[in-house]
Structure 1
Amino acid sequence: MPLFNDFGFTEEQKMMRQSLLNLAERHLPPEKIRELDRDSGWPKEAYKALAKDGWLGLLYPERYGGLDGSYKDACILLETLSYHYACFATTYMTSAIYAGLQLLYNGSEELKQDYMVPLIQGDIYIAFALTEPQTGSDAAAIKTHAVRDGDDYIVRGQKWFITSAHVADYIVLVVKTDPSAQPAHNGFSLLLVDAKAKGVSIKPIETMGRHTTHTNQIFFDDVRVPARNLIGQENRGWRILMRGLNLERMAIAACGAGNAQKAIDIAQDYATQRIQFDQPISKFQVISHKLADMRIKAEIARLITYRTAEMLDAGWDAKMETAIAKIVATDNDFECANIGMQVMGGAGFSMEHDMQRLFRDSRLGPIGGGSNEIQRNIIAKLMGL
């Protein structure tokens, strides 16, 4: 049985997936993944390999050193990386998609040349910071603010749950520049902040899973940011943020589909080798049906993800579809890991097997990137409810 269903892929896309899988296996063998998860390490070597082979530029124009790839190409990349190790895909998304594409779509040519091109080349890593301690689902309530002072902005505030900020060279930061704006999101702006600047301090947050790309608190204490580092127009940050939400949801869905397939492979491999009552436990209907349910859930996640990607490639305004894809893929990912734990029993619960890591890592999916409850609000609103 093939690793993934590749119906509808071009020969180039099939080769792309195999190349990425080979890269991941070469630079992140199982023992290295377990070490990173145990020690909260970061996959520097593997990330550099992605850069060397040009993958960081997949969604960027050729004139900047990119590959002019499609959204479907991005899904293939993220599903493949997440299949190998969920945090590897997240490492890619954070800088090359969430942060970097803000520079591509909205940054000045100077910012693109000085920061986006080095990002594509793998010379710098950029994190993205929106969430705050008092604002999660209610993103419009952010309090971190920036005040213009001559040729600089002065930033004060705090961000929370910021992925990979501990290894970032720069941060795409969402701030409030007009505190009197009504509605509040009309007063937002985006700034590119040096993560090593005076007044910036970063502290890790200990979490149940995603230990490699763990989240962080960031404190900004009178941090000076050059005004030329404004991304887009002042007080127009909310509008440009909204442009990236469809892509973010699609990307998270692709990662969920990959991780779900990995759970199937681990559980199936265990079930066909575990002997009870003189036969593999996969021969018992109660186990084979669980594996079949996992396969159904993973395939549904893939189907909705790739259909959504094709809609985005066609220029479709797929707000509802990306919200649906995010819900379906992340819920199914967690359910696959949960069923996989049950199939493996005590072995799945033990740290020597990888299923417990997939279970821990998959739990973030329905929470992060706009909780699945918020996605349902979006769907209901688009339905006119």
Structure 2
Amino acid sequence: MPLFNDFGFTDEQKMLRESLLTLAQRHLPAERIRELDRDSGWPKEAYQALAKDGWLGLPYPEQYGGLNGSYKDVAILLETLSYHYACLATTYMTSVIYAGLQLLYNGSEELKRDYMVPMIRGELYLCFALTEPQTGSDAASIKTHAIADGDDYIIRGQKWFITSAHVADYIVLVVKTDPNAEPAHDGFSLFLVDAKAKGVTISPIETMGRHSTHTNQIFFDDVRVPARNLIGEKNRGWKILMRGLNLERMAIAACGAGNAQKAIEIAQDYSTQRIQFGRPITKFQAISHKFADMRIKAEMARLVTYRTAEMMDAGWDARMETAIAKIVATDNDFECANLGMQVMGGAGYSMEHDMQRLFRDSRLGPIGGGSNEIQRNIIAKLMGL
């Protein structure tokens, strides 16, 4: 049952999905995924295969070596990668979407040429750093700051829960450049920082799931950054960040949709072979109804994701829809994994089966990328409440 139907896809999008599935299966087989999860490894081979086939350039213009893909193309890619392995999709999103698109939208031509283009080719990996120990949902309260010093800036502070920073070559870093700005977010700026620069220290954070793209804390101790590495205008960082939020939420929704489908597949493969009282457990209504619920939830995740992507492609103001998609897809992803665990019973709880990994990995969705509580705040505000 490799993914659900492809209704509404163009022939090119159907080929895109099949090509990505083939690539993922070849370069990241099931046993390798289990090994990466167990050892907190990073899917370098699969990521480089994506780069070699040009997929890192999907959302980028052709003039920079990209494919000029649509938002729906990006949704298909991420749903497919997440269906195969959630951390492979996260690996892609971190560099290509969260960090790389900041250079596309706001970087100078020099930054695009020297860093974005090599990123598209897979020669550089970027991570994105906003969250701090005391500032998660309240992003406007960041403390990490940059002070001008001649042709450079000196950066001091700490970031927290930064995905794949341990393998990054460069960090797209959000800092405060005007500590007296009112409101506070009017004093934000973005910089591209060498992850190996003097004064940068990266330490892993042990988490329940997402072991392959595990998260990190980063310390900046008098890190010197050239002024030319400023991304966009000084003190305009908050506005810069807002531009990418619709795509980020839609991307997270696509990943949730893909992971939910994998949970159904794993549970169904097990349950059709699990014999109790002389018949497969899927023949019992208590089990079959759980599968029906899982299918409904996964299909709803897909529907809201693709509808939102199509709205964005049409130029629609989809702020409310992306927030809704993020909530629906990530909540449904976790609920599918949770139901899958229940259907499989002790086997699902066992490390011998993959369901426990999907359960662990899916739990991040409602938390990361702007918690689902924050998304509800956004929806309520847009409703005029």
Q: TM-score range by the shorter chain?
A: over 0.9
Tell me the SS of whatever aligns to 1:9. Answer: coil
The aligned residue for residue 213 of structure 2 is 213
The aligned residue for residue 51 of structure 1 is 51
The aligned residue for residue 166 of structure 2 is 166
Tell me the SS of whatever aligns to 1:66. Answer: coil
Deviation (angstroms), 1:5: 1.5
CA RMSD of aligned residues (A): 0.6
Alignment of 1:308-347 (within 5 A): 308-347=308-347
CA distance in 2 between partners of 1:317 and 1:302 (Å)? 20
The aligned residue for residue 261 of structure 2 is 261
Alignment of 1:302-381 (within 5 A): 302-381=302-381
CA distance in 1 between partners of 2:272 and 2:292 (Å)? 14
Q: Which runs of 5+ in 1 are unaligned?
A: none
Length-normalised TM-score, structure 1: 1.00
The aligned residue for residue 95 of structure 1 is 95
Query: Is contact 2:348-2:356 (8 Å) kept?
Result: yes
Deviation (angstroms), 1:3: 2.7
| CA displacement 1:246-291 (0-9 Å, x = unmatched) | 1110000000000000000011111111011111101111101000
CA distance in 1 between partners of 2:195 and 2:81 (Å)? 27
Length-normalised TM-score, structure 2: 1.00
1:113 matches 2:113? yes
Query: Is contact 2:3-2:258 (8 Å) kept?
Result: no
Query: What letter corresponds to residue 231 of structure 1 in structure 2?
Result: I
Alignment of 1:130-149 (within 5 A): 130-149=130-149
Tell me the SS of whatever aligns to 1:160. Answer: strand
The aligned residue for residue 182 of structure 2 is 182
The aligned residue for residue 123 of structure 1 is 123
CA distance in 1 between partners of 2:329 and 2:2 (Å)? 20
Deviation (angstroms), 1:317: 1.0
| CA displacement 1:18-52 (0-9 Å, x = unmatched) | 00000000011010000000000000110000000
Tell me the SS of whatever aligns to 1:156. Answer: strand
Identity of aligned residues (%): 87
| CA displacement 1:295-326 (0-9 Å, x = unmatched) | 00000000000000000011111010000000
Query: What letter corresponds to residue 36 of structure 2 in structure 1?
Result: L
Deviation (angstroms), 1:2: 5.9
| CA displacement 1:193-227 (0-9 Å, x = unmatched) | 00000000000000000000000000000000000
CA distance in 1 between partners of 2:182 and 2:136 (Å)? 20
Query: What letter corresponds to residue 10 of structure 1 in structure 2?
Result: T
Deviation (angstroms), 1:176: 0.2
Query: What letter corresponds to residue 347 of structure 2 in structure 1?
Result: A
The aligned residue for residue 33 of structure 2 is 33
CA distance in 1 between partners of 2:79 and 2:6 (Å)? 12
CA distance in 2 between partners of 1:206 and 1:368 (Å)? 16
The aligned residue for residue 228 of structure 1 is 228
CA distance in 2 between partners of 1:287 and 1:321 (Å)? 33
| CA displacement 1:322-372 (0-9 Å, x = unmatched) | 000000000000000000000000000000100000000000000000000
| CA displacement 1:83-127 (0-9 Å, x = unmatched) | 000000000000000000000000000000000000000000000
Query: What letter corresponds to residue 33 of structure 2 in structure 1?
Result: I
Query: What letter corresponds to residue 361 of structure 1 in structure 2?
Result: D
CA distance in 2 between partners of 1:376 and 1:68 (Å)? 32
CA distance in 2 between partners of 1:252 and 1:288 (Å)? 28
Query: What letter corresponds to residue 210 of structure 1 in structure 2?
Result: R
Query: What letter corresponds to residue 35 of structure 1 in structure 2?
Result: E
1:78 matches 2:78? yes
Tell me the SS of whatever aligns to 1:161. Answer: strand
Deviation (angstroms), 1:4: 1.5
CA distance in 1 between partners of 2:381 and 2:70 (Å)? 29
CA distance in 1 between partners of 2:58 and 2:381 (Å)? 33
Query: Is contact 2:38-2:211 (8 Å) kept?
Result: yes
Tell me the SS of whatever aligns to 2:272. Answer: helix
Query: What letter corresponds to residue 241 of structure 1 in structure 2?
Result: L
Tell me the SS of whatever aligns to 1:122. Answer: coil
CA distance in 1 between partners of 2:350 and 2:28 (Å)? 21
The aligned residue for residue 10 of structure 1 is 10
Tell me the SS of whatever aligns to 2:202. Answer: strand
| CA displacement 1:148-183 (0-9 Å, x = unmatched) | 101100000000000000000000000000000000
Runs of 4+, deviation exceeding 4 Å: none
Query: Is contact 2:3-2:83 (8 Å) kept?
Result: no
CA distance in 1 between partners of 2:374 and 2:313 (Å)? 25
Tell me the SS of whatever aligns to 1:364. Answer: coil
Query: What letter corresponds to residue 12 of structure 2 in structure 1?
Result: E
321 and 201 in structure 1: CA distance in 2 versus 1, 3 angstrom threshold: same
Tell me the SS of whatever aligns to 1:197. Answer: coil
The aligned residue for residue 198 of structure 1 is 198
The aligned residue for residue 383 of structure 2 is 383
